């Protein structure tokens, strides 16, 4: 088969499209012919030497969708030919991948494979944020960073379904339309932490009930400042580079701070199936739109990484393996 391999850590140029030995499904695994693999910021960390992907040579990518071609010993919940999606399985930038059956999710017939692949990482992240980390009620207000991005757009849509008001932040004026399309009531353009006064103006000086911030240290303090009393800062994203730190006594207004670790979003198979069923149901009913903004052939993974790191993309990026 062909795969995208990292033979040494580095920039996008180290991604090599090459032949790779076919995987064999171990006990409890299914072998999947990959249709689409999702591109995520965490993949750039795997490529650069951060994260849990292991030592080179390695195949990055942790999510995708495809069709089962073979079953490992002991697998009874699936059959050859079933369509599945998965997340948390390293090695997904490939034409085939062995997926633990416990991490495979059946894809309904009316959900396209590309939509299923695009839903897993970002959809499950956003779903956990709005149902567990900061479950806002109708009329409450949220500030959503990167509101035109994959996670931001999904968080915005799910918050609007709960009746919340959303203030979206985008880094460039041309991303304003995408944030509004997702349902943001107000959209501010900010490339750093200069949004405090504008958010306070929009909320009558009270601040917001929750902030969803994946922007890193450049926005961390400003996100704290726009929270109202007992508000929640949901901080997410890779912990590399300039990591924000805080002293307990520096937290204002009795606010709550959580770092949302992805593994906790779907700690059990029951949670995985429950969250994905709700997401697929909302997609089916037209309540949630998953925007696949760019599709690349698998061999063009280098360009996909350059694009996602440029911060000029919106929506989801996918690699087409077939």
Domain ranges of the chain: 2-120+269-320, 138-259
Q: Which pLDDT score is estimated for 242?
A: 67
When the pLDDT of each residue in the chain is averaged and rounded to a whole number, the result is 93
Contacts of 248 (CB under 8 A, 6+ apart): none
Q: What percent of the chain is modeled with pLDDT above 70?
A: 98
**CB contact at 8 A, 303 and 17:** no
Q: How many CB atoms lie within 10 A of CB 247?
A: 6
DSSP character for 93?
A: S
Contacts of 32 (CB under 8 A, 6+ apart): 64, 66, 67, 68, 69, 84, 86, 96, 97, 98, 99, 104
* 138-259 CATH, one of 3.40.640.10, 3.40.50.1980, 3.40.50.720, 3.40.50.12280: 3.40.50.720
pLDDT band at 261 (very low <50, low <70, confident <90, very high): confident
pLDDT band at 216 (very low <50, low <70, confident <90, very high): confident
Tell me: the pLDDT tens digits for 40-90? 988 998 999 887 778 899 999 999 999 999 999 999 999 999 999 999 999
CATH architecture of 2-120+269-320: Alpha-Beta Complex (3.90)
Q: Which pLDDT score is estimated for 52?
A: 72
pLDDT for 1 beyond 70: yes
Q: Which residue has the tokens 């460039």?
A: 172
pLDDT for 240 beyond 70: no
Q: How far is 140 from 155, CA to CA, in rounded Å?
A: 14
pLDDT for 238 beyond 70: no
Tell me: the pLDDT tens digits for 111-167? 999 999 999 999 999 999 999 999 999 999 999 999 998 899 999 999 999 999 999
Q: Which pLDDT score is estimated for 241?
A: 52
Tell me: the pLDDT tens digits for 267-278? 899 999 999 999
Q: What size, in residues, is the chain? A: 322
pLDDT (average), residues 254-269: 87
């Amino acid at each position: 088969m062909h795969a995208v391999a990292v033979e040494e850590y580095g920039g996008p140029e180290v991604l090599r499209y090459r032949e790779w030995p076919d995987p064999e499904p171990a006990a409890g695994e299914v072998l999947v012919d990959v249709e689409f693999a999702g591109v995520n910021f965490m993949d750039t960390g795997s490529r650069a030497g951060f994260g849990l992907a292991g030592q080179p040579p390695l195949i990055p990518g942790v999510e995708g969708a495809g069709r089962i071609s073979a079953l490992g010993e002991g697998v009874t919940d699936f059959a050859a030919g079933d369509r599945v999606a998965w997340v948390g399985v390293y090695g997904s930038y490939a034409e085939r991948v062995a997926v633990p059956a416990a991490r495979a999710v059946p894809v309904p017939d009316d959900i396209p494979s590309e939509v299923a692949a695009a839903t897993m990482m970002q959809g499950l992240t956003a779903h956990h944020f709005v149902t567990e980390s900061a479950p806002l009620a109708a009329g409450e207000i949220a500030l959503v960073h990167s509101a035109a991005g994959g996670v931001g757009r999904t968080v915005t849509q799910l918050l609007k379904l709960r009746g919340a008001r959303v203030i979206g932040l985008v880094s460039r004026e041309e991303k304003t339309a995408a944030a509004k399309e997702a349902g943001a009531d107000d959209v501010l353009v900010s490339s750093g932490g200069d949004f405090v006064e504008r958010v306070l103006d929009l909320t009558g000086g009270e601040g917001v009930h929750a902030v969803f911030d994946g922007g890193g240290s450049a926005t961390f303090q400003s996100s704290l400042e726009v929270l109202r009393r007992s508000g929640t800062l949901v901080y997410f994203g890779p912990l590399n580079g300039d990591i924000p730190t805080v002293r307990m006594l520096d937290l204002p207004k009795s606010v709550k701070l959580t770092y949302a670790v992805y593994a906790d979003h779907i700690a059990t198979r029951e949670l995985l199936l429950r969250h994905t069923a709700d997401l697929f149901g909302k997609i089916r009913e037209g309540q949630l739109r998953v925007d696949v903004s760019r599709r690349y052939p698998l061999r063009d993974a280098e360009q996909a990484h350059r694009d996602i790191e440029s911060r000029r993309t919106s929506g989801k990026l996918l690699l087409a393996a077939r």
